[in-house]
A and B are shown apart, each in its own frame.
Chain A
Amino acid sequence: MDNKRLKVARIEKGYSQQDLADQIGVTRQTIGLIEKGKYNPTLNLCINIATTLDKTLNDLFWDEEKK
């Protein structure tokens, strides 16, 4: 399932996938796959992404519908 919240947060911040990847030290493909919901990142990577985008883990990764 697509992670639209991550994509929106990234675009709101003005980052391309490559920019975000460079900030965190991962590949662009990894960011793309996380946004597409095809890769489950580790908690460390989630925290790095959330910190870089000035969001909380809940903002980006918590799915209310699945609760």
Chain B
Amino acid sequence: MTYSGMKKKNNHGPFVMDERNKLIAYKIIAIMYFLTILAILGIILYRQFGLRQEISEFEDIAIVLTVNELFLISALLYFGVIPIQKIRIRNLLIIYAVIVVLGSLFTYYKYNIFESPGLSFDQLINKLLIIIVITGLIILFFVIFSILGKHRMEKELGEE
């Protein structure tokens, strides 16, 4: 059925991506991304604890996963998906301490309980120093992106 005043044809080609298609596509992509990340994490843990491989044997996968997650969380912070209203030093320190403690426990478990012989005290301290520094850098990275995101949003709001 056509309307006399309606002569406009669909110029969108055979594949019309409207808001509903996009919404569904984004949801599917997000779920598949999440499952892929989980699978990669599973592979890393299996190689580490199941096959007892050296880190050097799967560090490429670990680097891809780490960089991916770093930029994912940074992007979520930058575009305001993670709604941080105010960056509080106390909260940052708590998050930092929790990550350091969990990382240290994981390292201790991995080297001194799961593997034998375990690390010497000096080696363990060296590992813990790495965890402390790397965690600090990661938190700093996230804080910078949060601040940049807030500035971006303020700039957008200020353009009115």
Chain A residues packing against B (C-beta within 8 Å)? 13-16, 19, 21-23, 25-27, 29-30, 33, 39, 41-42, 44-45
| Secondary structure type dominating chain B contacts | loop
Q: Are B2 and A14 in contact (CB under 8 A)?
A: yes
- Kindly list chain A residues whose C-beta atoms are within 8 Å of the C-beta of B1: 14-16, 19
Q: Which of A13, A26, A30, A33 has the most CB of B within 10 A?
A: A26
B144 to chain A, nearest CB (A): 33
Chain A proximity mask over B8-39: 1 for CB below 8 Å, otherwise 0:
11101000101111000000000000000000
The total of chain B residues at the interface (CB under 8 A) is: 14
Q: Are B19 and A26 in contact (CB under 8 A)?
A: yes
Assembly CA distance A27 to B25 (angstroms)? 14
Identify B21's interface contact among A15, A27, A42, A45, CB under 8 A. Answer: A27
Q: Are A30 and B18 in contact (CB under 8 A)?
A: yes
Q: Are A22 and B10 in contact (CB under 8 A)?
A: yes
Assembly CA distance A49 to B124 (angstroms)? 65
User: Can you list 10 contacts pairing A with B, beta carbon distance less than 8 Å?
Assistant: A14-B3, A15-B3, A19-B1, A19-B6, A23-B6, A26-B20, A27-B18, A30-B21, A41-B19, A41-B20
- Kindly list chain B residues whose C-beta atoms are within 8 Å of the C-beta of A30: 18-21
B22 to chain A, nearest CB (A): 11
Identify A25's interface contact among B2, B4, B10, B20, CB under 8 A. Answer: B10
- Kindly list chain A residues whose C-beta atoms are within 8 Å of the C-beta of B4: 14
A43 to chain B, nearest CB (A): 11
Q: Are B10 and A39 in contact (CB under 8 A)?
A: no
Q: Are B3 and A27 in contact (CB under 8 A)?
A: no
A14 to chain B, nearest CB (A): 4
Q: Are B3 and A25 in contact (CB under 8 A)?
A: no
Assembly CA distance A22 to B7 (angstroms)? 10
Given the known inter-chain contacts A15-B6, A19-B2, please indicate yes or no for A45 contacting B12, CB distance below 8 A.
no
Assembly CA distance A25 to B9 (angstroms)? 10
A64 to chain B, nearest CB (A): 26
